[in-house]
Each structure stands twice: as structure tokens, then as C-alpha cells.
Structure 1
Amino acid sequence: MHLIELKVSRIVNEVKKLFDVDIILLRSRETLAYLFSELYNPPPEDVSISNVLINTKSSYATAYISLLDYHRATETYSDTHLIDFVPVFSHSLTLQSGVKVLSSDEMKREIENAISSAKAFATDFAAFCEQRLCSNIKPIIEVLRRRKVDAELELIRRAIDTTEKVLVNSLMFISPGISERALSGKLIEMAMALGAEGIAFSPIVAIGKNTAKPHHIVQSTVFNGCEPILIDFGVRVRGYVSDVTRMILPKRLCSEYVDVEGDALLISEVIDSVIVNMKPNTTVSAIDSVARDKLKERGLDAYFIHGLGHGIGVDVHEPPRISSNSRHTLLPGDTITVEPGLYFFNKYGVRIEEDVYVDENGGKLLTTSPRILYL
């Protein structure tokens, strides 16, 4: 079964457990990006499908897609027979192949007719349910998106594997004189050569004092041979992403950075403590507290200035958000990052980020490379 057919089937089955509807209308960006992950490119391109109608009896789906991406979609999903792609443009026309292209107004009328003729319908777009009687299924899809199936997990594993190869191989290119910007370019080049379809986000490459900035943007800062380097990197494979952070340390650190290795080892211990406590139905705020309490023992909790992690999937930041004020609980199938850090402004920072899968028994590491890479 094609991954998209599996996703449609999961949505239909879960909706039918709660609601007696014969039509499902999907139109939120999050849902469409999840459903058509192979087509999805984060902004500025985003997802090119605007609406999807699903017949709950047959699980047959009609997807209304921008004419610009119509042929890409039909090629990508040529082996599935449960989805009909309808191209949409500003005005109606007919392609040389005979395929009719709907105008935006024609699409709206077609969707309205389908909804009007249904005895009941459900949608992930809450505004629709303010105007007419329908069932809001956005919470259902949010849970489905979190609970990764094996096929999704395999794509995330592939993305992680590529990312870790890039991080380990980056040591070959790091020598005195290389800049953050040049190293960032090398990471992207290696990732694409290894089969990545794109990067998950702009790489964070921070040298020396720049490691104290959690969301540092690469600059022309040059590595002189004795500074710590923080790399936060991820790639995209068939729409699914990885997100991994490693500390790279030279064998001899400059005098102002002699404490970096000890702090990095402490962060690694924090990660281990967190993973041991990751069980289904545990509140994520409790997981966040495990990390902060461990750092508090050393009087360092005030230097951990962001949440502990987040979900990953077709987007690099998905629910659940792992923080002290989050109300989420861990679910079997969650794939999340665990990324504690310490940041000493204008001095240095350390962060290590692992990707973790939560099954019925607890957290399982997906990342396998050394957390500290030595030059």
C-alpha cells in the first residue's frame, strides 16, 4: 500500500469511529503537508494542494492541486488508484492531454456541491463548522500525525542516517581557516550527494563564542584551530526530516574553552536521564523537569534557556512541544528531539540533540553517532 493510501485509510477509519459522515473535507496546511509529504516543500513553496475531498465509503480522494504541480503529483503518485488529482488555475482551460483544468470558482462550486449533497461531513478546517453543521476532526488528525507508522519511521531513520554521515564526514573538511559559511555549504553538498532530497532547515554552524547563540545564523567567522564548533543539521527524505546537533571539539581547546568538554559530557548525561524517563502517557513537562533538575544539581539550570525538544515528521517542529508549560503527554509513535543545552553569553554554549522514537515501552534512540566529535 502506498504511504498516502495508508494515511487516507487511517484518517477515514479514525473519523468513522466517532462520526457518521460520508464526506471528509481537508484543507489545513498541516494536514495537507502530512498527507502529501512527497510533494511538500516548506515555505516559500509550501504545499500546492488546496483542498481534498474523501468519500468515506470508498476512501477515494479528490485532490485539488495547482496546475503548476499537477504533472509532478500524477507522476509521484502514479502507482495509487485511490486519488484523483484535479488541476486548478485562475481560469478554466483544457490541456493538450484532454485534462480539464478548473478555475478557482469552479473548484469552490464543486466542493460546495459535494458538501451540500452529503448527509453529513467532517473537516479539519474549524471555520467551516462555524458556518454550517459539521464535525471538526482537526484533533483526530493531529494525533494521527504524531503517531508515526512504520513506513514514516523508516523515512525518518533514512534522514537521520544521512544526517549523521554528513556530521561525521564533516571532520574531513574542518581545518584552520574554514568559515562557518563555507562549512555550512559543505554540509549541504555532502547531504545531497548522499541522496537527501533537501535540507530540513538552514544549518546552524557556530564557531567559538557563536555557540552561545541557540539560533545562530552562519557568518564569516573562521575556525582558528582551538574553538568548539556546534552544528545543528537535518535533511529531508521523501518529505520526512531529521534534526541532529553535535559538538565538534579540537583535541586542544583554547584556554577560554577548557570547560566546554565537561559541559558537553554533562549534557550527554542529561539526555540519558531524560530517555530513561520517557514513557507513554508521561507529561512532557515532567520530562522537561528531569533535564532541568539534573542541571540544577550543578547550579546550571538558569543557563538552559529553551524547551527540551519537539516533535519531528514532515515539519521540523511538530507537536509535542517538550517544555515546562506544555500540556502534551507522550504517545506511542511520537518521534521527538531531546536537545538540552547550556549557554554562557559571550563565552560559549553547548547543545547536543538526539532523535528519539517513543514505543509502548519507552524512548528508543534513533541517532547513533558519537555525541561529541573530536578533531
Structure 2
Amino acid sequence: MEVEARLRKIFSGAKIDLLLIKNGSEQDPNFKYLTGFTSGTFEDNFLIASRKKVSVLTSELEYETALSQAKEGIEVVNVLGSKKNFKKAISVIKGKSIGVNGNFLSFNDYNKIKKFKPSKIIDISKNLTKARLVKSEEEIANIRRAVSITKFAIMEVQKSIKAGMTELEVAAQVDFVMKSLGASGNSFDTIVAFGKNTALPHHMPDQTRLNDGDLVLIDTGAKYNNYCADITRTFVYGKSNKRAEEMIKFVKSVQLMAIHMLKPGVDAYIVGKKVKKYIDSYKGGIYKGKFIHALGHGIGLEAHDASVFGDTPYRKIKKGMTLAVEPGIYFVGFGGVRIEDDVLIDKNGAIVL
């Protein structure tokens, strides 16, 4: 990981002197992006970066953990246990134009930072998101590993599930297999839905039991070296379910069509609109209005790394982007189908990871 290269991407076009990242009870993803730390919680820690260097302001609790992971260009300072030392360390922002992540920084922390009298506090969340859009080879390798863990876990669990199991039991199995394969955790809480519950895109697993002929939807993602996967599979358990099987076949074909459309220079938002139009018009409109979410999103340090398929500044596809592609159709009272894969954009198009 080249710290200076990442700093150049962030500071490019940002009219700031320093970047300040403040963690809360969870880490800002940009703290992970600039440090590469995979161990430690760093709750309420600070990161101050210039164009050349990153300083992590931490406490005795995390100091050795941070020091053992610090790469060239990263300074670790043990100051959070002393008000005097902390004030001295953070005084570098006085009179300076400070960039912050407005998507993460709390209002209370914003007011705390103001007390140290920077000349300006500027939200550079768009710069931060843009900097992380195109992935390095190291980042791609981590995402690829997270994806392979996730896909294997789903396949293993699919082979072992039995009628009478609950959604919660299946979700627990998925999580266990992913961790046994080297995942450091989950990208998000695993979604498992049976039968009618599959019509609810973000249904959380409960005590619903699996019946023969049910639709089964598993949406999960392993995390590996901080990087996320996001994979969804939908299948029919046991006896044939013709309507559900036709839906699965159709959604798979739509996903393949969408993936073939993703190339450098293409507008992802327009791709999403074309896919929705196709779904709405299929066979006289049998699925009209049943595709109720975006075609996908960026994937990286966060499961939803950037809203690439929305009407956003990030919609133009570039080589090196990693995207999740997830068409779906949903019938309340019957069930839903979603198929999701993560892809890498290379010079010729999208490669399924």
C-alpha cells in the first residue's frame, strides 16, 4: 500500500491544507483506506494527513497495535491519554483549512474540531469517495478473496440445508463457514429469507422454517483485509416450483445482459435505466414495477462503496472499478428473486470475480 499515492488521489482538487478523520464507535472507512490497519478498533481515534504523511493519534490501548501495522508514511502518536499532549498534537490544524468526511463525522465531533480553530472545515466526502472508486491491484486481490470465500460458503450451505431449518440457523451456518475460510467478519448482516419472505429485499432472518418447494434467498458478504464482498443467490429448495424457477432463469439472464453492458466510459445510471425498462416490458409487462431498487453499487471498503448506478457524480464507469450487479424482481405474497455478483471493470468490460 502506497500511502502517498492514496493521499495524492484524495488531495487532488480539494482546496485543503490537511485532512482530519475522526472515528466514532466504528472506524471511518477512510481511516482504513489510509492506514491499511486490519487489527484494532481505534474507537474515537484521530487521523491527520498532509499531502505527504499520515499521523494517527491514538491511546495506550491501541498504540502497540497501530505501531506494529504502520507502513512507511504513517506516524503513530500516543496522545489520547493526556489532554496536554493531545492539544499539542491537534494544534497543527489551527489556522488551516481542514477537510473532513461529512458523511461520517458526527455533529458533536464537528463542534469539538471547531474548538481547535481551523480557518475552515470543508466537507470533502465526494473527494474521498472518488479517490476510492478505482482500485489498486492489492485492493482487487483482497476483494477477489472476499468474493471467493463468500461464494464457497453459500455453495456449502446450500448443499447442507434441510426442511425445518430456520432462517437464523442457515444465516449462522453461512457466517461460520465464511470465518472458517479466513474471513475477518461480515460485510453486513447476512440476509436469509424463505418463501414469501424473499419478496422483502432486506428481510432479516427470523424463526421462519424451510418448507419443500420454498424459494430461498441468501445475501451475504465476507470481509477480507477490510475489503468486502456482496453476493446473492436465490434457488428453490426441494420439489419443483415452476413460477419461481422461471423467475430465477429470467433474473439470471437480465444480470448477464447488464454485466455485458458495463465497460469503461459507459454511464452506469443509464445502464440501470435500460435494464429496468427491459424488465418492465418483458412479455407484455409480467414483471412491470417489480424491480424496485438500483441495479447495483460500488464495492470495496464498504459493502456499498459508492452509488455508481444512481444519478450521482460517480456514474461514469472506469477501468479498475469493482461493482456489485444485483437485478431482482419481487412479488409480495409469493416471493422474490435476486442474483448478485461482484465484477471488476477492465479495459474490455466487466469480469465476474
TM over 0.5: yes
Correspondence for 2:148: 161
Q: 3-state SS of the aligned residue for 1:318?
A: coil
Q: State the Cα deviation string for residues 211-264 of structure 1 (Å, max 9, x = none).
A: 1110011111111222111000111101001000001223523xxx42111111
2:176 partner letter: E
Match of 2:90 among 96, 99, 111: 111
TM-score, normalised relative to structure 2: 0.84
CA distance in 2, matches of 1:19, 1:206: 44
Aligned partner of 2:197 in structure 1 is 210
Distance 1:233 1:15 in 2: 30
Pairing of 1:1-375 with structure 2 (within 5 A): 3=1, 6=2, 8-14=3-9, 18=13, 24-27=18-21, 29-39=28-38, 48=43, 50-56=45-51, 59-77=52-70, 80-89=71-80, 91-92=81-82, 103=83, 106-112=85-91, 114-116=92-94, 123-124=99-100, 132=119, 137-253=124-240, 257-298=241-282, 299=285, 300-323=287-310, 325-329=311-315, 330-366=317-353
Change (3 A) 1:139 1:227: closer
Shift of 1:55: 4.5
**How far apart, in 2, do the equivalents of 1:17 and 1:209 lie?**
49
Q: Distance in 2 between matches of 1:83 and 1:49?
A: 18
Inter-CA distance 260–12: structure 2 relative to 1 (3 Å threshold) = same
Q: Is the Cα contact below 8 Å between 2:39 and 2:65 reproduced in 1?
A: no
One-letter identity of the residue aligned with 2:305: E
**When the two structures are superposed, what TM-score results if normalisation uses the length of structure 1?**
0.80
Deviations 1:322-356 (A, max 9, x none): 24x44532232221111111110011110000111
Q: 1:155 to 1:49 in 2, by over 3 A?
A: farther
- Consecutive unaligned residues of structure 1, counting only runs of 5 or more, are 93-102, 367-375
Tell me, which stretches of 5 or more residues in structure 2 are unaligned? 23-27, 103-109
Q: How many residues align?
A: 333
1:50 partner amino acid: N
Structure 2: distance between partners of 1:263 and 1:123: 47
More displaced stretch, 271-280 vs 158-167: 271-280
Deviation larger for 326-335 or 181-190: 326-335
Alignment check: 8 A CA contact 1:159 1:236 kept: yes
Asked if the contact 1:49/1:66 (under 8 Å) is kept, the reply is: no
Change (3 A) 1:40 1:293: farther
Closer, same or farther: CA 16–172 of 1 in aligned 2, 3 Å: closer
CA positional deviation for 1:364 = 1.7
The letter for the 1-side match of 2:243 is D
Deviation at 1:66, TM superposition (A): 4.1
Cα shift at 1:142: 2.0
Displacement of 1:68 after TM fit?
2.8
